[in-house]
């Protein structure tokens, strides 16, 4: 536990893997001197039983409840975290770490490769969701936590939560999986491929070595974000928000952003470029495309969870989520049921699309609060 | 003190403490909550309505959104001591399959349903020539969820066909207390407005016959 003194009990920062502990990746590659950026909220209790790990989504980060250092925007899940909220720093020790391959403090393709003194770029090994979780598990251990009270994640965060339950069931009391899936569908992969191709088609991408040339493929990354952003919203939500509203009076009879929805997407794309690395986008989308929990278990999802039958699961999906539709959550829940795990599942009525898990959904709040408080009772925390 | 439904009271009496119970069609979780508090059961629920499941989750119950026709198949064999199906069998698409599934998943099935052979139902049909609307079956034919109504005698025939054993049987009428009955008696098919059965597979482990009183089966 030499690593323990490197990190403060609350707050966060960067944790560096001990020198004798490289991270072995699914691809067979080994990463040395890995760093993980993380944030914590609240205090770890005496018997270290109140720790909750929040796993962020594709383009999320560890700033779950504090201002983003680049954009200054408030934490991305502030509506779920705070006094009296389902995740309460007054009773929980909340950890959120940047995934490996990310660009907010954890080692990723934009990090400097110690062997060359230059940014990894495409020499960074391809990573998987399981690799992300393996790195988190080492961080959690370094924080002195034997068993997490809960792992919580939406979307790609939900994939990590599932992976936790499969790989470390004995270090987990409960898992919350929101708007997620156990595998990437053809459509999911297809949309990601559009994004990757947009990045790689940008002349400034330079075969991934843009950092060496002091440029960045901002246009390609922006288009990738624009395409992806559409998949996070539902058709009714987009219609309600923008309809056919024009930006100014009359059409331009050209290709300026005439429609509000165009202007909105352009803004989404442009502001994303300020805070995200294009190569990280390639690596992390790849990790989700490779994700298929059943694959390593003979294609039978229930088998993946047989060791996790003592973990309590809460699975939530949203009616208008067409990125990870309810059928995917139901598929997961049936596997959990077949594995004999204790699972709760509900499809929440919402027209906000995939992003609903980040937004104001009172039914989600009460379901999550109920699930956590009953788990707290069983864990002896309440 | 809140009023406990009479059929819940009977189920509470039948269920062994600290057992594993699956409540199929658990609504807002009232029965699971009751059993958890009174019998310390390890409960799970299956409920079709999102609002019901959300209410269950808010009270901390492990409930999955799904229905008896499609989702029972995913539960492993003998994963519960009891599977409860309260006033729902007649609303399933394939009651025979559902009953079979309940007794694959659980050692015992506790099933209740409205008796279509009750005298009020018979009288209603005979005198008015219309589909019966009674206290137990209050909805008109075009809006009732009940697509597979049966009489007590019909149910007994199905039990025989499936080679099931009746471990306990009680009749209910209105708000009245449960009345233990012998379901093979023809008169009960006239008298019982609603029936509750505890069933198991023939050859399964036997339990003591329920005492005729309302005493708890498992209290001493």
- Evaluate whether A85 touches A79 at the Cβ level (below 8 Å): yes
Higher-pLDDT residue of B211, A269:
A269
| Residue B140 touches chain A, beta carbons under 8 Å | no
In sequence order, which residues have a C-beta less than 8 Å from that of residue A81 and are 6 or more positions away?
A: A41, A64, A65, A75, A87, A88, A89, A94
**What's the helix, strand, coil split of chain A in %, to 5?**
45, 15, 40
Give the tokens for residue A379. 């864990």
- Evaluate whether A293 touches A183 at the Cβ level (below 8 Å): yes
Nearest to A126 by CA among A3, A351, A287, A269: A287
Whether residues B64 and A345 touch (CB distance < 8 A) is answered with yes
Determine whether A185 is exposed, middle or buried from the number of CB atoms within 10 Å of its CB (0-12, 13-18, 19+): middle
Percent of chain A with pLDDT over 70: 97
| Residue B100 touches chain A, beta carbons under 8 Å | no
| Residue B64 touches chain A, beta carbons under 8 Å | yes
Mutate to test the interface with A, among B58, B72, B79, B81 (most CBs of A within 10 A): B58
| Whether pLDDT at A157 is above 50 | yes
Residues of B in contact with A330 (CB under 8 A): 66
Question: What number of C-beta contacts closer than 8 Å exist between A and B?
Answer: 67
Active site residues of A: 155, 321, 354
Whether residues B56 and A344 touch (CB distance < 8 A) is answered with yes
Q: Between the CA of residue B72 and those of A302, B49, B85, B94, B98, what are the distances in Å?
A: 15, 16, 12, 12, 8
Q: What is the pLDDT of residue B216?
A: 52
- Measured from the Cβ of residue B216, the count of other Cβ atoms closer than 10 Å reads 15
Whether residues B57 and A346 touch (CB distance < 8 A) is answered with yes
Nearest to B198 by CA among B99, B74, B131: B99
User: Hey, which residues does A96 pair with through a beta bridge?
Assistant: A39, A54
- Evaluate whether B90 touches B150 at the Cβ level (below 8 Å): yes
pLDDT digits (tens, 9 = 90+) for A300-338: 999 999 999 999 999 999 999 999 999 999 999 999 999
Residue A375: band (very low, low, confident or very high) from pLDDT cuts 50, 70, 90: very high
Q: What is the pLDDT of residue B204?
A: 65
Give the tokens for residue B109. 């099935």
| Residue B11 touches chain A, beta carbons under 8 Å | no
- Tokens 């990280």 appear where? A280
Q: What is the pLDDT of residue B220?
A: 34
> CA–CA separation, A306 vs A339, rounded Å?
5
Whether residues B74 and A338 touch (CB distance < 8 A) is answered with yes
Q: What is the pLDDT of residue A5?
A: 34
Dihedral over Cα of B138, B142, B144, B146: its sign: positive
From first to last of its 220 residues, chain B has per-residue pLDDT tens of: 456 788 899 999 999 999 999 999 999 999 999 999 999 999 999 999 999 999 999 888 999 999 899 999 999 999 999 999 999 999 999 999 999 999 999 999 999 999 999 999 999 999 999 999 988 889 999 999 999 999 999 999 999 999 999 999 999 887 788 999 999 999 999 999 999 999 999 976 655 444 444 445 544 3
Which run of H or of E encompasses A319? none
Residues of B in contact with A356 (CB under 8 A): none
pLDDT digits (tens, 9 = 90+) for A230-251: 999 999 999 999 999 999 999 9
- Three-state DSSP at B184 gives coil
> CA–CA separation, A202 vs A218, rounded Å?
8
Alpha helices in chain B (DSSP H): 6-14, 30-39, 50-58, 68-71, 95-105, 119-128, 152-161, 188-191
Q: What is the pLDDT of residue B6?
A: 85
Residues of B in contact with A377 (CB under 8 A): 60
pLDDT digits (tens, 9 = 90+) for A206-215: 999 999 999 9
Interface of A with B (CB under 8 A): 312, 314, 330, 333-335, 337-340, 342-349, 363, 366-367, 369-371, 373-375, 377
In sequence order, which residues have a C-beta less than 8 Å from that of residue A142 and are 6 or more positions away?
A: A1, A3, A4, A6, A7, A15
pTM of this structure: 0.91
The alpha-carbon gap from B180 to the nearest alpha carbon of chain A, in Å, equals: 34
> CA–CA separation, B33 vs B28, rounded Å?
9
With both helix axes pointing from N to C terminus, report the angle between A218-232 and A186-201 in degrees, rounded to the nearest 10: 160
User: Hey, which residues does B21 pair with through a beta bridge?
Assistant: B43, B82
Nearest CA in chain A to B105: A338
Q: What is the DSSP letter of A169?
A: G
pLDDT digits (tens, 9 = 90+) for A16-73: 999 888 999 999 999 999 999 999 999 999 999 999 999 999 999 999 999 999 999 9
Q: Given the cut 0.95, state whether the ipTM is greater than it.
A: no
Question: In the predicted model, what is the mean pLDDT of residues A341-367?
Answer: 95
Of A330, A342, A348, the CB nearest to B62: A342
> CA–CA separation, B180 vs B114, rounded Å?
16
Of B44, B59, B74, the CB nearest to A370: B59
User: Hey, which residues does A15 pair with through a beta bridge?
Assistant: A36
Of B57, B64, B71, the CB nearest to A370: B57
Q: What is the pLDDT of residue A313?
A: 97
Whether residues B74 and A374 touch (CB distance < 8 A) is answered with no
Whether residues A340 and B44 touch (CB distance < 8 A) is answered with no
Question: In the predicted model, what is the mean pLDDT of residues A69-88?
Answer: 93
């Amino acid at each position: 536990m030499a690593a323990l003194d490197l990190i403060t009990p609350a707050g966060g920062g960067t944790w560096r893997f001990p020198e004798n502990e490289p991270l072995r990746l699914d691809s067979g590659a080994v990463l040395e001197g890995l760093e993980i950026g993380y944030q914590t909220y609240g205090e770890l209790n005496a018997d270290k039983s109140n720790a909750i790990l929040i796993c962020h989504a594709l383009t999320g980060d560890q700033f779950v409840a504090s201002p983003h250092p680049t954009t200054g925007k408030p934490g991305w899940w502030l509506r779920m975290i705070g006094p009296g909220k389902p995740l309460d720093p007054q009773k929980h020790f909340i950890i959120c770490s940047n995934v490996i391959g990310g660009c907010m403090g954890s080692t990723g393709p934009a990090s400097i490769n110690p062997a060359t003194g230059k940014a990894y770029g495409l020499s960074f090994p391809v990573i998987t969701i399981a690799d992300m979780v393996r790195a988190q598990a080492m961080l959690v251990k370094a924080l002195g936590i034997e068993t997490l009270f809960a792992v919580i994640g939406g979307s790609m965060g939900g994939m990590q939560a599932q992976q936790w339950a499969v790989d470390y069931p004995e270090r987990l009391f409960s898992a919350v999986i929101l708007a997620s899936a156990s595998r990437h569908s053809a459509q999911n992969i297809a949309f990601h491929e559009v994004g990757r191709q947009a990045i790689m088609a940008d002349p400034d991408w330079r075969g991934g070595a843009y950092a060496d040339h002091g440029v960045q493929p901002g246009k390609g990354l922006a288009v990738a974000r624009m395409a992806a952003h559409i998949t996070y919203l539902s058709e009714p939500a987009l219609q309600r928000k923008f309809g056919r509203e024009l930006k100014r009076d009359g059409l331009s009879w050209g290709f300026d952003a005439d429609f509000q929805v165009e202007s909105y997407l352009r803004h989404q794309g442009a502001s994303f470029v300020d805070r995200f690395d294009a190569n990280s986008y390639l690596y992390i989308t790849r990790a989700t495309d490779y994700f298929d929990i059943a694959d390593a278990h003979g294609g039978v999802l229930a088998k993946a969870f047989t060791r996790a039958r003592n973990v309590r699961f809460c699975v939530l999906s949203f009616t208008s989520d067409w990125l990870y539709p309810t059928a995917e959550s139901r598929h997961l829940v049936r596997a959990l049921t077949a594995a004999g795990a204790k699972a709760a599942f509900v499809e929440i009525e919402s027209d906000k699309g995939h992003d609903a898990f980040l937004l104001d959904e009172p039914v989600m709040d009460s379901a999550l609060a109920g699930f956590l408080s009953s788990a707290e009772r069983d864990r002896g925390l309440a | 003190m809140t009023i406990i439904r009479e059929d819940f009271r009977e189920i509470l009496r039948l269920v062994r403490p600290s057992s594993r119970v699956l409540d199929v069609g658990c609504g807002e979780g009232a029965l699971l909550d009751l059993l958890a508090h009174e019998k310390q059961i390890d409960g799970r629920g299956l409920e079709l309505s999102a609002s019901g499941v959300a209410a269950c989750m808010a009270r901390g119950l492990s409930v999955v959104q799904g229905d008896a026709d499609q989702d029972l198949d995913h539960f492993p064999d003998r994963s519960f001591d009891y599977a409860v199906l309260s006033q729902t069998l007649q609303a399933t698409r394939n009651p025979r399959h559902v009953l079979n599934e309940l007794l694959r998943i659980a050692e015992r099935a506790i099933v209740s349903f409205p008796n279509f052979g009750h005298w009020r139902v018979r009288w209603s049909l005979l005198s008015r020539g219309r589909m019966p609307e009674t206290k137990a079956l209050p909805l008109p034919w075009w809006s009732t969820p009940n697509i597979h109504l049966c009489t007590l005698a019909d149910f007994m025939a199905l039990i025989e066909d499936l080679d099931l054993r009746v471990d306990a049987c009680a009749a209910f009428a209105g708000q009245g207390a449960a009345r233990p009955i012998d379901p093979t008696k023809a008169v009960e098919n006239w008298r019982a407005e609603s029936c509750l059965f505890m069933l198991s597979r023939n050859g399964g482990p036997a339990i003591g016959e329920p005492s005729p009183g309302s005493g708890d089966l498992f209290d001493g």
